[in-house]
């Protein structure tokens, strides 16, 4: 093993759902040959974290648990097989596969049944340090003017929509419709635009939509106060008015709401594609036969395979995807305040928490 290991890790732990986070200390797990210890630079606050704390979504590791899966940091110690990583600046995948099973070998490592998710299967990134496998870390060799903490959001908010866009086969000239342009959807608009698509952004927040006009959205639709049929009619009218593709729409549901999922399914067109990226515990009633009638397809996206992380890091560092306008940095000691604001929809940007122990 190389590198100096601290005596303990300090982390903000969820003791129970609905309760405030509490600062705790716990032992550093033994580093196996393929493990590393990362000093956390920043950890993003994700809708999934809110689900764990407030939404009744169970974590696989029982509380007390340190949440947080959007993590960047510096490797300070490593097992013998990962010694060359000590000192590296890294982004940690939010879904860490085994790399050996049939799913991994078939390019579906994001749903590897042996996968590990920080802040779900083990203590996550709202902490001073995190112990993780070293195999799939994305090394950042040149920050190009960014602080390492800023890159934490790549680990989910950027990579997850990237995975969806890649899987949907988005190409130059496609029409992509992104429903929900918050933390993940805002990056989804940018990724689809970077792939050459014409992007229609749909949300209930006018300020978000105005921002997306400057970051990849060719057209925006405010769905506030409108039902599914009205949104559908407006999209069709826009397509006709602007001479956009009439078929083969690629629809990305990123709102994580029942209303958003209902609207997304209603926008399936002939030879269309629906990607469900947002998560909600709500249920929607849809006519699945539309998939048959339109010869369309639908899929869900869980995280992103590590193989795509390097591309996402490069897109961010080259500013083909803008991170700074969509994120804000806060001391980790403000975690309870930030989570309350996120729950009450009072955060205009994705919060990045930086250790200030």
In the chain, where does the domain assigned CATH 3.40.50.720 lie?
160-300
CA atoms of 299 and 304, how far apart (whole Å) = 14
For tokens 């000590």, what's the residue?
86
Task: Give residue 154's pLDDT.
Answer: 97
77-95 average pLDDT score: 96
In the chain, where does the domain assigned CATH 3.90.180.10 lie?
8-156+304-354
Residue 258, pLDDT > 90, answer yes
For residues 123-161, one letter each, b for 16 or more C-beta atoms within 10 angstroms of the residue's C-beta and e for the rest, the string is bbbbbbbbbbbbbbbbebeeeeebebbbbbbbbbbbbbb
Instruction: Give tens-digit pLDDT for 277-286.
Output: 998 889 999 9
Q: Catalogue the E-assigned strands of the chain.
A: 8-14, 21-27, 35-44, 65-66, 70-78, 89-92, 129-133, 138-139, 175-179, 198-203, 219-222, 250-253, 273-276, 297-300, 327-331, 350-354
**In CATH, which superfamily holds the domain spanning 160-300?**
NAD(P)-binding Rossmann-like Domain (3.40.50.720)
242-250 average pLDDT score: 97
Quickly state the pLDDT bin for 55 (edges 50, 70, 90).
confident
CB 203 within 8 A of CB 209: yes
250-256 average pLDDT score: 96
Instruction: Give tens-digit pLDDT for 97-120.
Output: 999 999 999 999 999 999 999 999
Strand-pair category, 297-300 with 273-276: parallel
Residue 68, pLDDT > 90, answer yes
Quickly state the pLDDT bin for 190 (edges 50, 70, 90).
very high
In degrees, rounded to 5, the angle at the alpha carbon of residue 341 between the alpha carbons of residues 339 and 346 is 145
260-268 average pLDDT score: 97
Task: Give residue 280's pLDDT.
Answer: 86
> 22 forms bridges with which residues in the sheet?
13
169-189 average pLDDT score: 96
Say which DSSP state 153 is in.
G
297-301 average pLDDT score: 96
CATH number of 8-156+304-354: 3.90.180.10
Residue 3, pLDDT > 90, answer no
Share of the chain above pLDDT 70, in %: 100
Residue 250, pLDDT > 90, answer yes
Residue 54, pLDDT > 80, answer yes
Task: Give residue 13's pLDDT.
Answer: 98
Task: Give residue 1's pLDDT.
Answer: 64
Instruction: Give tens-digit pLDDT for 8-53.
Output: 999 999 999 999 999 999 999 999 999 999 999 999 999 899 999 9
């Amino acid at each position: 093993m190389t590198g100096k290991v601290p005596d303990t890790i300090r982390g903000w732990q969820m003791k129970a759902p609905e309760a405030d986070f509490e600062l705790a200390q716990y032992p550093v797990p033994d580093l196996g040959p393929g493990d590393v210890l990362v000093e956390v630079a920043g950890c993003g606050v994700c809708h999934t974290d809110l689900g764990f704390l407030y939404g009744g979504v169970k974590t696989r590791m029982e509380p007390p648990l340190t949440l947080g899966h959007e993590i960047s940091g510096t490797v300070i110690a490593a097992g013998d097989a990962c010694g060359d990583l000590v000192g590296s600046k890294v982004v940690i995948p939010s879904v860490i596969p085994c790399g050996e099973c049939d799913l991994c070998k078939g390019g579906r490592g994001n749903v590897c049944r042996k996968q590990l998710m920080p802040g779900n299967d083990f203590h996550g990134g709202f902490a001073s340090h995190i112990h993780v496998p070293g195999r799939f870390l994305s090394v950042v060799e040149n920050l190009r003017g960014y602080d390492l903490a800023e890159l934490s959001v790549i680990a989910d908010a950027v990579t997850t929509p990237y995975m969806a866009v890649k899987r949907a086969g988005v190409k130059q000239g496609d029409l992509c419709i992104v429903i929900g342009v918050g933390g993940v959807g805002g990056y989804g608009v940018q990724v689809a635009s970077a792939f050459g698509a014409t992007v229609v952004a749909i949300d209930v927040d006018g300020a978000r939509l105005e921002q997306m006009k400057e970051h990849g959205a060719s057209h925006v639709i405010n769905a506030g106060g409108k039902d599914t049929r009205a949104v559908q009619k407006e999209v069709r009218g826009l397509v006709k008015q602007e001479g956009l593709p009439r078929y083969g729409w690629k629809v990305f549901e990123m709102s994580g709401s029942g209303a958003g999922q209902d609207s997304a399914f209603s926008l399936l067109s002939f030879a269309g594609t629906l990607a469900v990226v947002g998560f909600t515990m709500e249920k929607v009633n849809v006519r699945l036969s539309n998939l048959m009638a339109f010869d369309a397809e639908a899929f869900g996206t869980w995280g992103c395979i590590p193989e795509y992380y390097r591309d996402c890091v490069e897109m961010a560092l080259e500013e083909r995807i803008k991170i700074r306008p969509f994120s804000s940095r806060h001391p980790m000691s403000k975690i309870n305040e930030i989570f309350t604001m996120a729950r009450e929809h009072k955060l205009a940007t994705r919060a990045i928490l930086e250790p200030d122990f």
